[in-house]
Amino acid sequence: MSMRVLLLGAGLSSSSAALDLADDRLSPDVEEIAIADISIKRAEKVARKALRLTKRKEIKTMHVDASSDDLVSLIKNYDIVINGLLYTYIPKVMNSCLEAEVNYVDLGSDVETVKMQKNLDEKFRDKGITAIIGMGCSPGMINIMAKKAAEELDYVEKIIMREGWVDLTDYGPVNIPLPVPYSFDTIADEFEDKVEIWTENGIVLVEALSGVEIVDFPEPVGRQKVYYVEHPETYTIGEYLRNKGLKLVDYKLSFPDELVMKYSMLRDMGLLNEEEVFYRGRRMTMRDLIREKALEKIEAIDITPDDFDAIIVSAYGLKGGRSAICRVISLTKSNKKWGVSAQSLAVGVPASIAAQMIGYNRIEKGVHNPEEVIEADEFIKLASRRGIEFRVNLEIKLDS
């Protein structure tokens, strides 16, 4: 079987999907990869890296404006679309895939968008196509880790998800005024949006960056402060495991102190909102302007990344009638061969794995969250082959 994959968006988060698809050893049945972005320069940069990983695959680049009406005619040429664009484009891209009758994977969105996507389930089934939504790192890989942790218990009372990141990259004399370790808009939303905590009695809202706690992650991530930020996996995991007795699901993420200070200042000054300004003869929002200037600086440098991302998913419940905790732990490190960060790898690799599972007809038709259709052990095996480390620890308390 051969697969033709279209990657929409060649940004920091999605570029690793193209590289994983290009690798002859990891993805032997991918025949063609098209990397499409509004910046052809950005797409070509990813393509040059991808070409170093294959001796036989066709790798194309193209300029694409996702807001245009030509999307369906482009998508029709491929078997699977990986949507690495900002999540506000998800309705347009997903409906274009539906019209073109082409399979679909994306990297994540928000709860409102997830609900909209799930409403397309019957239409995707009727067309005989498949969508796996929220298949990056968190959401995505973390959902499958939560599924694995829950599978080890007979009864699950709560699932606690914590993610930590550390950047050890030597930037030398390069000055980066605003860190953007992954999607700028995702970070901006995490600082602005209220956070949903899933409970058996309904959603509880808390303020972004509240609930600070200290977590010890695997080294070299180590001890980090983590904060509540809005992520849709709390909702999807909660609904998926509701019938196993679940009462609580929450998620917290670490940020470097410098990043917290700078994005908090931008938020407090109203510079992350959608207020329009004129800049160099163009109408744009304040957020657009900040994003453009931040990425302009980052994309101009060529430094080998050296960062690490760690996730701890803890499921609390019962095993054999005794209190038990199952922890599933991951550690992702930057890939120096590919020249990508741990953040990029942890997002792009799960999307590539999911796309290929669809290509192999291992996923049923319709629209699915990752935990609903991807077998945890199979995913962990495939992600481990790509350098992501996993541990599963089950602790059963003895009778007192």
Q: What is the pLDDT along the chain (400 residues), one digit of tens a residue?
A: 799 999 999 998 899 999 999 999 999 999 999 999 999 999 999 999 999 999 999 999 999 998 887 899 999 999 999 999 999 999 999 999 999 999 999 999 999 999 999 999 999 999 999 999 999 999 999 999 999 999 999 999 999 999 999 999 888 777 888 988 888 999 999 999 999 999 999 999 999 999 999 999 999 999 999 999 999 999 999 999 999 999 999 999 999 999 999 999 999 999 998 888 877 788 888 898 899 888 887 877 778 899 999 999 999 999 999 999 999 999 999 999 999 999 999 999 999 999 999 999 999 999 999 999 999 999 999 999 999 999 999 999 876 5
Burial level of 70, CB count in 10 A (0-12/13-18/19+)? exposed
Q: In the chain, what's the furthest Cα-to-Cα distance? A: 73
Query: Is the CA virtual torsion 229, 230, 231, 233 positive or negative?
Result: positive
Contact status, residue 85 vs residue 65, Cβ threshold 8 Å? no
Q: By C-alpha distance, which of 14, 56, 20, 58 is closest to 37?
A: 14
Centre a 10 Å sphere on the Cβ of residue 393 and count the other Cβ atoms it contains: 13
What DSSP assignment string belongs to 293-355?
A: HHHHHHHT------EEEEEEEEEEEEETTEEEEEEEEEEEE-BTTTTB-HHHHHHHHHHHHHH
Strand partners, 391: 329
Residue burial 173-209, b: 16+ Cβ < 10 Å; e: rest: eeeeebbbbbbbbbbbbbbbeebbbbbeeeeeeeebb
pLDDT score for 363: 98
Centre a 10 Å sphere on the Cβ of residue 101 and count the other Cβ atoms it contains: 13
0.85 surpassed by pTM: yes
Amino acid identity at 117: Q
Contact status, residue 3 vs residue 47, Cβ threshold 8 Å? no
Per-residue tokens: 167: 């950047």
* Cβ neighbours of residue 268 closer than 8 Å, sequence gap 6 or more: none
Q: Where are the alpha helices (DSSP H) in the chain?
A: 15-22, 40-51, 71-75, 90-100, 111-118, 121-127, 141-151, 184-192, 233-240, 257-268, 286-299, 342-359, 370-373, 376-385
d(C-alpha 142, C-alpha 310), whole Å: 10
Q: Structural domains in the chain? A: 3-136+343-385 (3.40.50.720), 141-274+300-342+388-396 (3.30.360.10)
